[in-house]
Amino acid sequence: MTGRELEEHPSYQRMLEMMHKVADLEGALALLGWDQRVNMPPKAAAERARQRATLSRLIHEMVTSDEFYALVKELAGQVDLDSLDDAASQIRVMLRELDKARRLPPEFVARRAQVVGLAETHWEQAKAAKDFSLFRDDLKRVVEIKIEEAELLGYQERRYDALLDEYEPETRAATVEKVFADLRAVLVPMIQAIAAQPPVDDSFLYLAYDRRKQWDFGLEMLKAIGFDLERGRQDYSMHPFTVGISENDVRITTFAADDLKPALFATLHEGGHGIHDQGIPARFRRTVLDGSPGLGISESQSRLFENVIGRSKAFWSYHYPRLVETFPEQLGNVDLERFYRAINKVTPSLIRVEADEITYHLHIMIRFELEQALIDEKISVDDLPEAWDAKMEEYLGIRPPDPSQGVLQDTHWALGAIGYFPTYSLGSLLASHWYQLAVEEHPEIEDELAQGRCDTLRDWLTRRVYAYGRKLTPPKLVEAVTGGPLSAEPFIQYVRTKYGEIYGL
Amino acid sequence: MTGRELEEHPSYQRMLEMMHKVADLEGALALLGWDQRVNMPPKAAAERARQRATLSRLIHEMVTSDEFYALVKELAGQVDLDSLDDAASQIRVMLRELDKARRLPPEFVARRAQVVGLAETHWEQAKAAKDFSLFRDDLKRVVEIKIEEAELLGYQERRYDALLDEYEPETRAATVEKVFADLRAVLVPMIQAIAAQPPVDDSFLYLAYDRRKQWDFGLEMLKAIGFDLERGRQDYSMHPFTVGISENDVRITTFAADDLKPALFATLHEGGHGIHDQGIPARFRRTVLDGSPGLGISESQSRLFENVIGRSKAFWSYHYPRLVETFPEQLGNVDLERFYRAINKVTPSLIRVEADEITYHLHIMIRFELEQALIDEKISVDDLPEAWDAKMEEYLGIRPPDPSQGVLQDTHWALGAIGYFPTYSLGSLLASHWYQLAVEEHPEIEDELAQGRCDTLRDWLTRRVYAYGRKLTPPKLVEAVTGGPLSAEPFIQYVRTKYGEIYGL
């Protein structure tokens, strides 16, 4: 059948109807999750976990029902599954999801939701108390259930591949290792060369900055990069995140701190995710093509706005005078050049989300190695804090003073998100690749940034990346946009130019 | 079967399991509704209406499934349905719900959710713009669908009874009319006698009071009456409301205004609802016995805390010095007696939620008469604004200057809540009845209030009212607690004593 014929077929209509129903439940589930992290009263954790488990199970039952599977299989038999038509793509992507989802029994899905619901709450308590033991048993349950998940999903080379595939479809741990090796070969000597220089003074970023004013300035930046606050909102949470509740309801969070850096760049980071979510074509909404094909692709958007743009001289040549106006006491005698060097200071540090663009990748490599070891049962959760600290020492030469700045710093494992971290690094690599291509085609982009606008770049991203929704898997999308496979080369060029200039390397 | 045997019966277990599932979905639906009114970005209304419609339909499908009905009918055949055992009550109350719910087809329920989802948003816009025409067509659709609903549900005397029964089971419009007549016979001459006196000066309540300080003071009052902020929260919304998301997640809202009155008493009102919701026995949670048997009963709790306690001299003898400390500029030269007379000032006014305890009932009578007329198709929505204004003139001698202070002031009709208003008055009557009984049994209650505590009263309410959950219908609960039927007499005694003293009548 042609795309047109297919779209009028009753089975296709029925498939879309079921997708709509599932999408609405997923919206409700997303809101339960958002609310848990932003608003929920402290004693409501157990009931919320049950509510999320019930909704997860219901969604899973619908999606994995024999009726739905038969419908999608029937449709799949009648189209060219390689076609990029909307209708054929709906079927291809849905079929891939179903083939995977049907490997997880409903009972497993509910159990997993309950485990991570409680783990998340206990992680928050453990982090606040700086006490890993409050989270240890939950993390053991998380690791156990993720191993069970990997075995249920199946894999060819490594157990970890099954989990990575959940976040970055068709991407393999061996590929990631290869790219990480290329990266490490360049970054490690670069970090050493920088460490040999006198340290950049960025102390003025860590003065007390009024939180209300930071919040307001953050909203101005969000408007400048094009996040639509009539179709979304920003709140505070312990760990920043972005979630789409519906087409016109994309929510980002940032966190409250006195020093300037985290809130500014967390806002730009989540703002990048938010723009991506808001930019998906309307015709894909409430279907399987809504959203991003993988977390590396998502992360390429957040990192683009946080780093490539948000730490560029062009961007700040417009925004910095406004920042000085907002905080004259703290920044009145700091010029743009000093500010630019400070926000691009390269130095080994403890907290991933505060790390610079270069050492950041080493934080990711640590997590990537440790979570692979957990999943392969090569280390136990009991030994994890020590293993973490040892790797920090080995890669970055520093040891966390307590677990809230070490193994407890990130929420991901509490959420059951194992296989997630490497996508951050893949995102960084892609961000510089997209930007390189966009500027080649539209050299005016940098001038626009210097005028406080972002239209041409956003338009390019909308046409070249967001327009696909989830039609293509990440490796295929990279191929379609860049004409080649994933590569560390554009990022390496980017850091060589930028940090070469800053540090005179 | 005995209660014990029943509780171990697999069919009973299966029924509970389905109730839990439904309760979890209802929690998610409640959160979607809460969020829509507290947080949702302005452009997300259409998708949110669809999400709520999908969840409503799903819940309705589960509850009205033939499988579930057969299960409950089977169990109903094996117990004494008049027993007050937990298990027998679960079955009795569930069967009553099912017999009603099965009269509404799933398609109807989804359509109704969508109509009210949009109506609510347009009502907010219309109220802000003071333009009834922005809401008119939505209200027509609401009235049409409520007429359809009444016809589907069925009734013996009046079409309106079918809708009233949704909010106050087994209560009839004719009963309400009778109680309202008793009430009017006393209140109208009382209002006239008061109007003949020089007006009480309450101007100091309408000065500018810092909103942040009002908020903090409101939280202190909530703690004093016993609302647990670890098992609930307070937010701002356009119209205050209370919603239970789960056993340990009860949310109330208040509204932001510069003058003191609305926020203080809205907070106490919703706080009363919140305490009730938090006080339901744990063993009823996630079942059909969770919650209140009717809105009049719910309202008896909110009105008890808002009026009987919240406008009493005992309560303020403790809290007033603290209020003066918080707002020395506005209240420094106002003594307790003047404050007490001001917060109990009786005078005809436009806004129901700001009305005093006496004229309040006339606001309700207007709504009760108009909504009956709409449902009986005796007036059309087109004529409603004029009919509203005419009744205001007739009953209270004043006309709203614009519809935001008239027919658009309340959110209820936008939510499809027709048959709801009379329960507010029933709640007032019951509130004074409960309080009269509680103080007869525990005269120390007034002393405790004067010491900023509320334990004995809350304990009495927990044992005598909350302990039943939804086991008894409202008329039966009133009988069980007071030993007689609903009566206006205790309220009449209460206002005669209180306002007799204030106004020297």
Instruction: Summarize pLDDT for A335-351 with one digit per residue, the tens.
Output: 999 999 999 999 999 99
Same domain, B82 and B196: no
How many CB atoms neighbour CB B205 within 10 A? 19
Chain-chain contact of A27 with B47 (C-beta, under 8 angstroms): yes
Cα distance between residue B251 and residue A40, in whole Å: 9
Chain-chain contact of A246 with B29 (C-beta, under 8 angstroms): no
Same domain, B214 and B81: no
pLDDT band at B3 (very low <50, low <70, confident <90, very high): confident
pLDDT band at A262 (very low <50, low <70, confident <90, very high): confident
* pLDDT tens digits, one per residue of A89-110: 999 999 999 999 889 987 898 8
Q: What tokens were used for A174?
A: 């061996």
Indicate the average pLDDT of chain A. Answer: 95
All residues of chain B having their beta carbon less than 8 Å from the beta carbon of residue A42 are: 230
* Average pLDDT of span A423-446: 97
Q: DSSP string of B175-241?
A: HHHHHHHHHHHHHHHHHHHHHTSPPP--GGGGS---HHHHHHHHHHHHHHHT--TTSEEEEE-SS--
Looking at residue B473, its amino acid is T
* Average pLDDT of span B348-372: 94
Same domain, B337 and B202: yes
For A49, half-sphere exposure in the C-beta direction (CA atoms, 13 angstrom radius) is: 19
Q: Which domain holds residue B327?
A: 173-503
pLDDT band at A368 (very low <50, low <70, confident <90, very high): very high
Q: What tokens were used for A283?
A: 């015709």
Res A149: pLDDT: 97
Res A6: pLDDT: 85
* Average pLDDT of span B210-231: 96
* pLDDT tens digits, one per residue of B261-286: 878 999 999 999 999 999 999 999 99
> Of B339, B348, B358, B200, which Cα lies nearest the Cα of B261?
B339
Is the pLDDT score of A132 beyond 80?
Answer: yes
Buried b (16+ CB within 10 A) or exposed e, A262-292: bbbbbbbbbbbbbbbbbbbeeebbbbbbbbb
Buried b (16+ CB within 10 A) or exposed e, B401-439: eebbbbbbbbbbbbbbbbbbbbbbbbbbbbbbbbbbbbb
Same domain, B54 and B201: no
A187 is a domain residue: yes
Among the partner residues A21, A32, A247, nearest to B28 by beta-carbon distance: A32
All residues of chain A having their beta carbon less than 8 Å from the beta carbon of residue B231 are: 41, 43-44
Active site residue A446: no
pLDDT band at B247 (very low <50, low <70, confident <90, very high): very high
Same domain, B262 and B359: yes
Chain-chain contact of A31 with B35 (C-beta, under 8 angstroms): yes
All residues of chain A having their beta carbon less than 8 Å from the beta carbon of residue B43 are: 230-231, 248-249
All residues of chain A having their beta carbon less than 8 Å from the beta carbon of residue B32 are: 28, 31
The total number of residues shown for chain B amounts to: 505
Is the pLDDT score of A353 beyond 90?
Answer: no
Rounded to a whole number of angstroms, the distance from the CA of A152 to the nearest CA of chain B is 26
Res B16: pLDDT: 96
Q: DSSP string of B260-317?
A: HHHHHHHHHHHHHHHHHHHTS-GGGTTSTTSS-S-HHHHHHHHHIIIIIITTSHHHHH
Res A354: pLDDT: 85
Q: Are A92 and A287 in contact (CB under 8 A)?
A: no
Indicate the average pLDDT of chain B. Answer: 95
Same domain, B483 and B380: yes
What radius of gyration do chain B's Cα atoms show?
Answer: 23
Could you tell me what percent of chain A has a pLDDT over 90? 91
Is the pLDDT score of B1 beyond 80?
Answer: no
* Average pLDDT of span B345-359: 93
E strand map for A165-248: 232-236, 242-246
Res A77: pLDDT: 94
Same domain, B256 and B384: yes
A471 is a domain residue: yes
For A30, half-sphere exposure in the C-beta direction (CA atoms, 13 angstrom radius) is: 19
* Average pLDDT of span B467-489: 95
Chain-chain contact of B51 with A39 (C-beta, under 8 angstroms): no
Res A261: pLDDT: 82
Rounded to a whole number of angstroms, the distance from the CA of B20 to the nearest CA of chain A is 9
With an 8 Å Cβ cutoff, the interface of chain B facing chain A consists of 20-21, 24-25, 27-29, 31-32, 35, 39-44, 46-48, 50-51, 53-55, 58, 229-233, 235, 245-249
DSSP three-state, residue B102: coil
* Chain A interface test: which of B246, B253, B278 (most A C-beta within 10 Å): B246
Cα distance between residue A251 and residue A264, in whole Å: 17
Cα distance between residue A452 and residue B407, in whole Å: 46
Chain-chain contact of A51 with B27 (C-beta, under 8 angstroms): yes
With an 8 Å Cβ cutoff, the interface of chain A facing chain B consists of 20-21, 24-25, 27-29, 31-32, 35, 39-44, 46-48, 50-51, 53-55, 58, 229-233, 235, 245-249
* Average pLDDT of span B62-85: 94
Same domain, B104 and B229: no
Choosing from B117, B135, B159, the residue where a domain stops is B159
Residue A229's domain is classified under what CATH number? 1.10.1370.30
| Closest residue in chain A to residue B235, using alpha carbons only | A39
Res A36: pLDDT: 96
B164 is a domain residue: no
Could you tell me what percent of chain A has a pLDDT over 70? 100
Q: Are B372 and B173 in contact (CB under 8 A)?
A: yes
Is the pLDDT score of A232 beyond 80?
Answer: yes
Same domain, B134 and B177: no
pLDDT band at B322 (very low <50, low <70, confident <90, very high): very high
Among the partner residues A24, A232, A235, nearest to B51 by beta-carbon distance: A24
Same domain, B341 and B468: yes
**CA B37 to the chain's CA centroid:** 17
The total number of residues shown for chain A amounts to: 505
pLDDT band at B117 (very low <50, low <70, confident <90, very high): confident
Same domain, B286 and B373: yes
Q: Are B367 and B421 in contact (CB under 8 A)?
A: yes
* Chain B interface test: which of A62, A245, A286 (most B C-beta within 10 Å): A245
Res B5: pLDDT: 84
Q: What tokens were used for A208?
A: 């007390």
Chain-chain contact of A246 with B35 (C-beta, under 8 angstroms): no
All residues of chain A having their beta carbon less than 8 Å from the beta carbon of residue B277 are: none
Buried b (16+ CB within 10 A) or exposed e, A235-252: eebebbbbbbbbbbbbbb
* pLDDT tens digits, one per residue of B283-318: 999 999 999 999 999 999 999 999 999 999 999 999
Q: Are B245 and B30 in contact (CB under 8 A)?
A: yes
Res B30: pLDDT: 98
pLDDT band at B357 (very low <50, low <70, confident <90, very high): very high
Chain-chain contact of A229 with B54 (C-beta, under 8 angstroms): no
A219 is a domain residue: yes
The CA dihedral of A44, A128, A136, A55, to the nearest 10 degrees, is 30
* Average pLDDT of span A215-223: 96
Rounded to a whole number of angstroms, the distance from the CA of A51 to the nearest CA of chain B is 5
Q: Are B241 and B270 in contact (CB under 8 A)?
A: yes
The single residue of A166, A270, A299, A446 carrying the catalytic annotation is A270
B244 is a domain residue: yes
pTM: 0.88
B337 is a domain residue: yes
Chain-chain contact of A231 with B24 (C-beta, under 8 angstroms): no
| Closest residue in chain B to residue A248, using alpha carbons only | B44
> Of A160, A180, A144, A67, which Cα lies nearest the Cα of A420?
A160
Q: What tokens were used for A338?
A: 């000093």
* pLDDT tens digits, one per residue of B130-180: 999 999 999 999 999 999 999 999 999 999 999 999 999 999 999 999 999
Q: What's the number of domains chain A is made of?
A: 1
A240 is a domain residue: yes
pLDDT band at B86 (very low <50, low <70, confident <90, very high): very high
For B72, half-sphere exposure in the C-beta direction (CA atoms, 13 angstrom radius) is: 27
B247 is a domain residue: yes
* Strand partners for B253: B235
Cα distance between residue B78 and residue B55, in whole Å: 32
Choosing from B100, B126, B159, the residue where a domain stops is B159
> Of B480, B477, B496, which Cα lies nearest the Cα of B171?
B477
* Average pLDDT of span B419-432: 97
Same domain, B138 and B191: no
Q: What tokens were used for A450?
A: 């210097």
Res B101: pLDDT: 86
- Please report the ipTM that was assigned to this predicted complex: 0.86
DSSP three-state, residue B433: helix
Burial label for A49, CB within 10 Å (0-12, 13-18, 19+), is buried
Q: Are B300 and B434 in contact (CB under 8 A)?
A: yes
Q: Are A493 and A435 in contact (CB under 8 A)?
A: no
Is the pLDDT score of A332 beyond 90?
Answer: yes
Res A50: pLDDT: 93
Could you tell me what percent of chain B has a pLDDT over 70? 100
